[in-house]
Structure 1
């Protein structure tokens, strides 16, 4: 069981984070300041340190030097995002912006621990065997992505060829397919590997702030700009800038980004001076940028600048040879992380994994297995713990000996869940905020955003639907 140290002076935040991590099978210790952490604990003995940036007495970055080989994850507000990027240059493993939701924090923790302890995972026979079946022994170790099917092997070959160059790369694929993993592989195999990789989700930053966040601003550039601040493009100088969901970038910001690609320079908001930057750009999207450019929703000149190298990441349903192997690797990893004896899937669960459509792709598969491991009480994971709607899958029904329904020329009266979601959002988004839409649908705002991305439903840029 991984042991995590939380250093946070706000008692409410510290307690909430502790409960979240303990519910997910982590051992947790806590402190209210750097001094308290140093006096009470041997910091290098932890598997991970999660610290607020601003603490009484000394900043959270002081823990980086005290932690030795233990990774330090910095928490910060959007207002201090630039300082968080600086902390990465000092040696922090990553940063996470407040307020964060639970899934975002758990995904960050799981990824950091997984990257830190590959040797420990390899010592587990189940992980080792599952990894070999998944093709990790076929030259994908240095890439860090599971996959032995022809499409993934072709992708791995392209990553190895493209990574050493400084060419701009456009990664295309559905939400949850692992586009950020491809970006990390391109960065880690490049000459920029020791410099920062700055990841930005263009859809997650309010449109009114995105130019300032990316390109920085001068004092007085707009109301509230009490001091000048560098942007994330500038923070990535010498390294790699990964722009996820670039199709959501406003046209004004696209023009500024084009200047970065053409001239290798940026101009902060409110400034008349330009400055040179050395940044490799990797972009990702689930949308058809060419069609958006044709319709005037994306700059055509920027599209062609981005489309120097295009990598397509296949959906999980297109990777039939990989699905069950990936599931076995995830199962072994979760068991090792939670300190449990090795579990196995029941025959019915394994068959369902192979037949299910996985609309949320690899992310949905990993989350389903993590939940199943937490809830499992026996040595096998039954189908019901996976929480997948296999009864809606036409290919799976005959496997249970059921007869397929007779063909009918009558139109279906019931909408599918995805059809209902799309119908509801399109009908109500003109007069409801994102918060109200999510509440009516019974989901979180993050889940609402992810489903929008998967179904290609853009948010309204103006009007009553905006609550940012």
Structure 2
């Protein structure tokens, strides 16, 4: 049974957290001050949950005293700066009051599932369980949690080791789910900035109207609703690393501001007339072709060349050979440990299916499939059915795509009709249909007929090497 120390001066909250954790079968000790916490033998606990502001000091004072015991900070004083400061000092997690009970339990379970590590050694957190294959776990630890034995991944590891110690801006290319954020983390943790904060931002997840304020901050009264001055994420990453994922989705106006950060190492909050100097290393990632976007006026060319100082490319999972089996076995061991299940193994049919499947969602899809299989398994054998792997091409074709792929089209330059659609892969169907219809259809019409989005159409064109023909 895991032992948890709760440090909270408000009795109602302290008792509520204690009862919540006890209901989930944790052994809980609770105290109301920093001095009372110091009287405990902190190394005897598996986790310390502490309020940020306490009588006699700050909750972050316990981080150093706790040694390798992880610390979760909770506070009602929600601000980006306090979160960043707490994480910089070595807090494992940060949660804002009032919090949902499920949120607290999830955070506790996540921390306790991780291995013990000293706050000063973030690079040690690669291995999730002692039950994981030692050889694979060693590779994961050596490469900051990234597993890969194929030539492309070994080349990537060598590049990371060369680039990480510098402050060079890095642009990471790779399909969705290939692990671009893991590469960014590896670059940060092997750099001289490893003791500072890595702040990750998904540019596609922030509404365009709020993006500049989120990145660069704003002054009080800068716009309707700006009731107080706010620090932006770029400024919060000062001294550390800023990782901008999906940077191809950044609007042109925000691109101009980001260019100034790279050129002048300074920012200007929205509504301010004064600039602020920042020392930030920038790592960007995208699944899009920024060079082509720059040529089409969709991305600033000067920003592209500023970002593309060092380019790292992550191969898709289908291009990594036996890495997929190595990854699957590692994920299976980790999932069994995390879910308190006995050791399991893939049967031969499942291993063959793992090798043959195309994995369009890459490592993320593989991890989800493995976790689903562990949950549904009735014994210690994992089958292809449990993972939801179906190698039949018809499984991945929408009704709209199937209907249009099989019909005869009156194309100016018809492509030879396949004899039997059962012999074609999904990619074959896609190439066949696009080549027959792209001259007489717009991209929107093509996507609608195929039953996919314009973005998916563009991505598949890039992957399959089908350039868009200009009419």
Indicate whether the TM-score tops 0.5.
yes
Structure 2 vs 1, CA of residues 240 and 112 (structure 1 numbering), >3 Å: closer, same or farther? farther
- For residues 285 and 332 of structure 2, the distance between their equivalents in structure 1, rounded to whole angstroms, comes to 28
Higher relative contact order (CA 8 A, sep 6+): 1
- For residues 47 and 222 of structure 2, the distance between their equivalents in structure 1, rounded to whole angstroms, comes to 39
Q: Which residue is 2:343 aligned to? A: 342
Query: What do the CA deviations read for 1:148-171 (whole angstroms, capped 9, x no partner)?
Result: 000000100100110111110000
Q: Which residue is 2:70 aligned to? A: 71
Structure 2 vs 1, CA of residues 160 and 375 (structure 1 numbering), >3 Å: closer, same or farther? same
Match of 2:420 among 390, 403, 407: 407
1:150 matched to 2:151:
yes
Shift of 1:76: 8.4
Q: In the alignment, is the contact (CA less than 8 A) between 1:127 and 1:333 conserved in 2?
A: no
Structure 2 vs 1, CA of residues 112 and 209 (structure 1 numbering), >3 Å: closer, same or farther? farther
Q: How do 1:131-146 and structure 2 match up within 5 A?
A: 131=137, 136=139, 141-146=142-147
Q: Which residue is 2:204 aligned to? A: 203
Whose radius of gyration is greater, 1 or 2?
Answer: 2
Q: Which residue is 2:398 aligned to? A: none
1:392 matched to 2:393:
yes
Structure 2 vs 1, CA of residues 71 and 126 (structure 1 numbering), >3 Å: closer, same or farther? closer
Structure 2 vs 1, CA of residues 124 and 287 (structure 1 numbering), >3 Å: closer, same or farther? same
Aligned length: 407
- For residues 353 and 77 of structure 2, the distance between their equivalents in structure 1, rounded to whole angstroms, comes to 42
Structure 2 vs 1, CA of residues 33 and 350 (structure 1 numbering), >3 Å: closer, same or farther? farther
Q: Which residue is 1:333 aligned to? A: 334
Shift of 1:377: 2.4
1:213 matched to 2:226:
no
Shift of 1:210: 1.4
Q: Which residue is 2:176 aligned to? A: 175
Q: In the alignment, is the contact (CA less than 8 A) between 2:115 and 2:129 conserved in 1?
A: no
- For residues 74 and 454 of structure 2, the distance between their equivalents in structure 1, rounded to whole angstroms, comes to 27
Query: What do the CA deviations read for 1:251-309 (whole angstroms, capped 9, x no partner)?
Result: 11111110010011111111111121111100011111112212222111101100110
- For residues 28 and 429 of structure 2, the distance between their equivalents in structure 1, rounded to whole angstroms, comes to 46
- For residues 446 and 71 of structure 2, the distance between their equivalents in structure 1, rounded to whole angstroms, comes to 39
- For residues 230 and 409 of structure 1, the distance between their equivalents in structure 2, rounded to whole angstroms, comes to 57
Structure 2 vs 1, CA of residues 122 and 184 (structure 1 numbering), >3 Å: closer, same or farther? closer
Q: How do 1:37-436 and structure 2 match up within 5 A?
A: 47=46, 64=63, 67-72=66-71, 80-95=79-94, 113-114=113-114, 116=116, 124=130, 127-131=133-137, 136=139, 141-392=142-393, 407-408=420-421
Structure 2 vs 1, CA of residues 373 and 410 (structure 1 numbering), >3 Å: closer, same or farther? closer
Shift of 1:71: 3.1
- For residues 444 and 390 of structure 2, the distance between their equivalents in structure 1, rounded to whole angstroms, comes to 21
Query: What do the CA deviations read for 1:380-423 (whole angstroms, capped 9, x no partner)?
Result: 112222123333389xxxxxxxxxx962599999x999x9xx98
Q: Which residue is 1:466 aligned to? A: none
- Structure 1 gap ranges (5+): 395-404, 428-440, 442-447, 458-468
Q: Which moved more, 1:254-263 or 1:286-295?
A: 286-295
Q: In the alignment, is the contact (CA less than 8 A) between 1:10 and 1:32 conserved in 2?
A: no
Structure 2 vs 1, CA of residues 72 and 294 (structure 1 numbering), >3 Å: closer, same or farther? farther
Query: 3-state SS of the aligned residue for 2:270?
Result: coil
Shift of 1:107: 10
Shift of 1:367: 1.8
Shift of 1:142: 4.3
When the two structures are superposed, what TM-score results if normalisation uses the length of structure 2?
A: 0.70
Structure 2 vs 1, CA of residues 340 and 235 (structure 1 numbering), >3 Å: closer, same or farther? same
Pairwise CA RMSD: 4.9
Structure 2 vs 1, CA of residues 127 and 196 (structure 1 numbering), >3 Å: closer, same or farther? same
Q: In the alignment, is the contact (CA less than 8 A) between 1:130 and 1:332 conserved in 2?
A: no
Shift of 1:174: 0.9
Structure 2 vs 1, CA of residues 303 and 108 (structure 1 numbering), >3 Å: closer, same or farther? farther
Query: What do the CA deviations read for 1:98-147 (whole angstroms, capped 9, x no partner)?
Result: 999x99x9799759944657799698465214447xxx29xx71433100
Shift of 1:57: 12
Shift of 1:215: 1.0
Query: 3-state SS of the aligned residue for 2:231?
Result: coil
- Structure 2 gap ranges (5+): 118-123, 396-417, 434-442, 460-471
Q: Which residue is 2:412 aligned to? A: none
